[in-house]
Structure formats: C-alpha cells, structure tokens
Structure 1
C-alpha cells in the first residue's frame, strides 16, 4: 500500500470529507489531517449556540465516519508549514507528511474588517467551541439580569445585538427572540425575559442580500413578527464589553449599552492559505485554476471556503453544497492525473438559497421558485435533516425539533464553566466566558 500515490487532505469539513469519499475506490492512500477529531455540520451550528441541539447532534468523529474506508488514515494535528517544492506538509507535533497530491480545505474564520479587538466582545460562530461560548454568554445574560438590582444594568443584560444580516445573523436573531419570548417564559421571578430587546444590525440596505429583494423584505417582516428589531443601513462603529456604537450618518452616532453582541458580519479564509505562497484575493482565499489546482502546481488543490473560484462574472459562494461539489471534483481531478488524462474543469451547480428565520418562518429561493413562511420552513427542515451525516444524527435532530415545535423548549440549556467571575470577589462576570474559552 505504501507504494501507492499518497494524497494528503488538510481539513475534515465538507470539501475535505467529500474528496476523501470520492477516492474511496481508488488505488491511493489518503491521510486526512484536521485539528479537531470531528466533522461538523455547520449549517445547524446556530442551533447548538442557541441551546436547540447538542454538539453530537450535528457532529460526528471523523474516524467513525471513515471507519470502513480502508485507504484512509485520520491524523489529529495542526499544519504549520507546507513545502510545495519538496511536496511535504509539516505538523505542529514535528511530524512530516510527504505527498503526491495535496488538498488544502481548511475553511474560513471570522473577519472583523480591521477591528480584531472586537472579537472578545462580539464572538463569531464557526466552531463547536464558538457555539458553546455563545450559548454560555446568552444564557448567562438572563441570569445576570435576574440578579441585577440596578435598572440600567438589568437593561444592558437584556439587550442583545447580532451584527450581520446574512443567513447566520438572521437565524441567530430569530432564535434569540424565540428564546426570550417563549422558551424562558415563567422561569424567572424578577425579570420578564420577553422584555429583552433583540436587534439585527446590517450595514447594507437589506438583510439576506444574496436573496431576491422580495424575499429579503419577507424575511425582515417575519423577523419583526418574532420580535426582532431590524436595523439596516447602519454600520457598527465600535464594540466593547459594555455595548456598541452605531453610525447614524452626518457624523451622528448612537451608543447602546449591551452585554451580549454576536458577530455574523464577515468571514476570512483560513490563514493556512498563506502557506502555499500562491496568489490570494482580498479575503485571503487562494486563486485557483479551472480544475481547482494552484497555478504551476497541478498536484496541489484548494477547495471549500479557502478557494476563490469564479464562474463567469459570479464568485462561487462559500456554502456547504459548493464545498461538497469542490471536494468531489478534486477526487475526479486526482483520478484523471493518475490516469495521465487532463483534469476536468470545475462547474458549480447552484441549487438555490434557503435560510430559516424562526419557528415556522423561512425563505427559499430555487431559481425562480420563491417560498416563504411555513412552506419554506418545512422545505428548509427536510433539506437540512437529509444532508446530516448518519442515521443517529437525523433521528436526534428530528426528535429535538419535534419537541421544540410543540413545547417551545430547548433541551440543551446547560451553562458550562464556573459561575463565579474570573479573579473577582463580588462583581459579575462581564463577558460570561469560561477561562478555557477565552484562551482560544
């Protein structure tokens, strides 16, 4: 087996996993490297952040997923260097992997548009660690409000803001409103959780800008029905652990005391792209050729959120279906290279856009077929459950969602970490982060 071509795949997300599976029947040996031991179904990550699902509902160990694929070795590790001339990948533990073909599919991270200092006050949502930190922050906000004796402090704890009006921001804001108005009803004695204000802040003119304007308008209407205040055309000027500042135009600003601000406004490519020393775009994505290889290195491929791919005048979006298609394509391209055939060009099939807003509320755009409301919600639910990996995951999600639908309850409302603030003797914890979460 060691005489077979060695394919090293960095990243166990959609692109990396689908490329691995695409090569299941080929005479190659594959090493799949990831910093984490699990594959994550990111489209439902906001459900973990808002206590609707537990982590195992949307994640599965990579070793378990690939246990029957004999040509794969899973390696838990972090890539620190890539030598494309010597065809080697170096790991943080000192390990070195020689490769015949390399796929870099390490995804994306948060982008704060030059304000990285906002990250501690406004966490983003990309990993399970992010989701658990946000869950803790949200649930602790209601607990701190219950304990607060000062009306202004209580109001600040009950002020929630989500920055960014894309699908993730819309999903987070809608679910936060449902938690405040339904899930936590009758559970507190000194506060009324329904008095919490949830704001969705979008710098552009409308939410869900990738959808047709008619669906964006319907999404905003559905959000307002849920109790979300939709703010558009107002960029954020500053965020700290005491609140945020909005630009109102004409030099005017609005300062809002808020102890829970969540970031869903932008993404940047994984920093591993820089290790290839290839040309990148403004977001750090690697510019690839038609077959997803980098210029001058036909044995090195980039896929998923890390790849900058254009079809005509449109960029291929950083969504799960695109990453899966890229992964499968890389498998086909490697197979072609091994057979001394030209690798095919990548063609993205756009199946449409969909986003959920809240209970029985969603929008779907399927190339001319536009759905909203309960029909769109059912379509969104079926699509997401269908693409979950493993029967156990599908069953768990269906069971939990059925329970939440009938009861408004969210079963995963457990706050992890110490209840006392860091290094304090009486003050409340400003951020609600556990020490381990802050060290990431």
Structure 2
C-alpha cells in the first residue's frame, strides 16, 4: 500500500490520539480555534467505561454506552476522524505512522490513549481472568455469564456456581454488587431450575479495605452493603495464580470459580514503548505541570496515560482526563496566539461508586461524605449527564430506570447470541 500523507494546510495541525474522555474533551475545546484537528482511534466509537459493568450484567445495551466518533463532525467542521492504530511516532519529522502505512503529520500532538488491564505478571491471569475495560470484554463477560447459567440448567446443578471478582476499587465493587443483585433478585424468577444459594460471589482485595481513595466511613458502609447482599469479601488477600477453575491466593489457598473477573489495576498499552516518549510509574507518560511530555514542547499527554514529574499521578478517573483535555486545547490556542497559560490545576469534583439499587457512596472535597439513596440518585444523574449523545442518555435512562424502579417485577435481561454448548440430553452440541 502506498504511503499517504495528510494534505498540507496553512493552519496548525493538531493530532489527538485516543477518542476517550481526554481526547474528545480536547477535540471539542478546539472547535473555535484556528486549527485543523485530526482524531485517531483504533475503534470507530468512544466507550463510556464507568457503565461497562452494566453491559456485562445485562442491564444496558452496548450501544447505550458507545458513541460514533465520526459524528463529532455534526457540530465541528475543523475535525476529521481516522480509524487506525499508531505503530510509531517520529518526533524529529513530527509524523505518525499507522498500521496501514499512512502517515499523519502534526504541529501539536495530544496523547490520550487511556489504559488497559494490568495483570501484574500473575501466572494465568491474562489467560484465564476476564478484564472489563472495553465493550468487547464486557460483551464477552456477559455471554460467559449467560452460557454458564444455561449450561447449569441443561446439565442439572451438580456443582455450585462460583464467580470471583479480583479488585476492590470502584469497578470491582460495582461489578460485585451488580452480580449479587442478579443472583438475589433475578435468578429466582428467570432461573427457577437453579438454587441461588448455590451461586457464590467472592471479591478479593489485597488491601484491608474496599475503595481505597474513600474515607473510612464510606469504606465501612460499602463493606456492609456488599456483605448484606451476600458477597464473600476476602480483604487483605493477594492473588498468587489464576487457574481455569479458580484462584490461588497469597497463602496458597485455592478458591474455586468458573468465572474470574479482573478489576485489579491498569497499565498503559504496550505500543507506547515504541513512541519515543519518557515513561514513569506504571509505564505512564511523564509530563510537566503544563501537561507537556517531558522533553517535547508541542507534545502533550492527558488522562490515565500520563503521570506528572516526580511520579505524582492524578486519579485515573474521567474528570482529570476531561479537565486535562480542555486545558491542553486552551494551551495550544494560547501558544498559537503568543499568549501564556498558567500551570494546570485539577479541580476535584469528587468520587462516586455504586453498590447496587439505592446504595452508593459519594466523596467530595470540603463536604461531608454521602451514602445510601441520596448518593445513588447523584450517581445516576452524574452518569446519565456525562453519557455522550442524547439518544444514549435516553436509552440508558429507560433501561436503568426499568431495572431499578421496577426491580421486583421487571426481570428482562439484555443478552446476545450466546452459543449453546449442550443439548437437552446433556451431551455436547459442539
């Protein structure tokens, strides 16, 4: 394939790699700037990651939390979208090479690639655990859950069903809470052949408390809420090995499970190591207090992929990425105009996590912690507000509303074409 380069323009060219919270915030903030913008992403859609667990537990459609990246041109004409994966960056020639051989040249570059699951080199984790950071992974987990339940019906519940969630952060807590409600509220109606008491949920967390960044009172409330829902908590427990049929903890104890959900940590994509940028703790890209990549004047990094000088990292949440993207766009516009911009300052708007219906925790700097139903209402409003696109907000509101408001009557689940592994007689259909 012949190499194709972007058409030269008299205006500065800003290239943004990554269409997540940080990348899209930067692109939108450049809407009125006198620049041409190119957004590059390996996927054609942006994913609202905080609600991936709702897709995995059959409460939302994948389309409810994804947004077509090319539709950004409906309100912004100075942007073009390129679907591709970056294979290399030449900072001397200011050029980016994609997998198809095409080259994009830039005057300013914003790296907002996000992160991926970190298995910490634990044997068997990458092979047997199921992470939850992309739409594809959420759908795969959803299908495995349904297939496991259907298989148990066909075979007869000879063995107990067991699920382990590794990681006691927001993703792990929310996933464990949703699975518990699926077992407690839905299974007795939709799977009368199965005994919910023989379906076991275990959450493993290396620290002695859940939701590490939260204050102790909210950590204790979260612990009580999960235990009330019947989740077996293994706090202060590490994972030594993940096997096909369970997990070996740090003390050598084997915990059986048919499904292991990995929500234990994140790291940068391996490809970044070939991009010629300095990397710090967790292989995140090193930046200064203006979010510039160290050693480069016109290259910036925002969101989860970046770490400040001295390995001081912002929380790996949506708000730091969005604020960082907007700041870098403002900085680029100021540089073009020959103006100065002060160093980036993050405004902490607080942290949220939900345990299930009518149960959530909210921590905001300078205000008392909030828990229970009030925090859950705020969680619902915030997540619907930040969803991209009015259609997505409406669809998510309808689906989540029907799940939580009519929880005692509505047991419909959003499923796909789950492969049938067994015939009615229990023999393999493969």
Into which bin does the TM-score normalised by the smaller protein fall?
over 0.9
Query: 1:342-363: CA deviations, max 9, x gaps?
Result: 3431111111111000111111
Aligned residues: 417
**Cross-structure match for 1:139:** 146
In structure 2, the CA distance between the partners of 1:296 and 1:343, relative to structure 1 (3 Å rule), is farther
Counterpart CA distance in 2 for 1:351 and 1:414 is 35
Alignment counterpart, residue 323 of structure 1, candidates 313, 317, 321: 321
Q: Is 1:400 the counterpart of 2:403 in the alignment? A: no
> What TM-score, normalized by structure 2, do the two folds share?
0.92
Give the secondary-structure state (helix, strand or coil) at the position aligned to 2:31: coil
Counterpart CA distance in 1 for 2:413 and 2:44 is 22
Counterpart CA distance in 2 for 1:184 and 1:208 is 28
Counterpart CA distance in 2 for 1:241 and 1:322 is 37
Give the secondary-structure state (helix, strand or coil) at the position aligned to 1:245: strand
Counterpart CA distance in 2 for 1:198 and 1:428 is 29
Counterpart CA distance in 2 for 1:17 and 1:6 is 16
**Cross-structure match for 1:436:** none
Counterpart CA distance in 1 for 2:405 and 2:345 is 42
1:52 touches 1:410 (CA, 8 Å); kept in 2? no
Instruction: Tell me the CA shift for residue 330 of structure 1.
Output: 0.8
Instruction: Tell me the CA shift for residue 398 of structure 1.
Output: 1.3
Counterpart CA distance in 2 for 1:286 and 1:89 is 17
**Cross-structure match for 2:136:** 129
Query: 1:56-114: CA deviations, max 9, x gaps?
Result: 11111011133221100001111111001110000001100011011111100000111
In structure 2, the CA distance between the partners of 1:418 and 1:140, relative to structure 1 (3 Å rule), is closer
The Cα RMSD (Å) is 2.0
Instruction: Tell me the CA shift for residue 241 of structure 1.
Output: 1.2
Query: 1:181-218: CA deviations, max 9, x gaps?
Result: 11122323432234311111101111101101111010
Superposed counterparts of 1:207-356, under 5 Å = 207-248=210-251, 253-309=252-308, 315-356=313-354
Give the secondary-structure state (helix, strand or coil) at the position aligned to 2:141: helix
In structure 2, the CA distance between the partners of 1:386 and 1:111, relative to structure 1 (3 Å rule), is same
> What TM-score, normalized by structure 1, do the two folds share?
0.90
Q: Which is further off, 58-67 or 30-39?
A: 58-67
Alignment counterpart, residue 6 of structure 1, candidates 9, 13, 23: 13
Instruction: Tell me the CA shift for residue 3 of structure 1.
Output: 1.3
Counterpart CA distance in 1 for 2:194 and 2:22 is 46
**Cross-structure match for 1:63:** 70
Alignment counterpart, residue 185 of structure 2, candidates 182, 185, 202: 182
2:116 touches 2:269 (CA, 8 Å); kept in 1? yes
Q: Which is further off, 207-216 or 367-376?
A: 367-376
**Cross-structure match for 1:438:** none
In structure 2, the CA distance between the partners of 1:301 and 1:410, relative to structure 1 (3 Å rule), is farther
1:144 touches 1:428 (CA, 8 Å); kept in 2? no
Counterpart CA distance in 1 for 2:170 and 2:73 is 30
1:121 touches 1:261 (CA, 8 Å); kept in 2? yes
**Cross-structure match for 1:435:** none
Counterpart CA distance in 2 for 1:112 and 1:393 is 32
Instruction: Tell me the CA shift for residue 334 of structure 1.
Output: 0.7
Alignment counterpart, residue 206 of structure 2, candidates 184, 203, 207: 203
Q: Which is further off, 273-282 or 254-263?
A: 273-282
For structure 1, which runs of at least 5 residues remain unmatched after alignment?
Answer: 430-440
Counterpart CA distance in 2 for 1:90 and 1:411 is 46
**Cross-structure match for 1:28:** 35
Instruction: Tell me the CA shift for residue 277 of structure 1.
Output: 2.2
Counterpart CA distance in 2 for 1:69 and 1:103 is 18
1:7 touches 1:28 (CA, 8 Å); kept in 2? yes
Counterpart CA distance in 2 for 1:276 and 1:116 is 28
Instruction: Tell me the CA shift for residue 418 of structure 1.
Output: 3.0
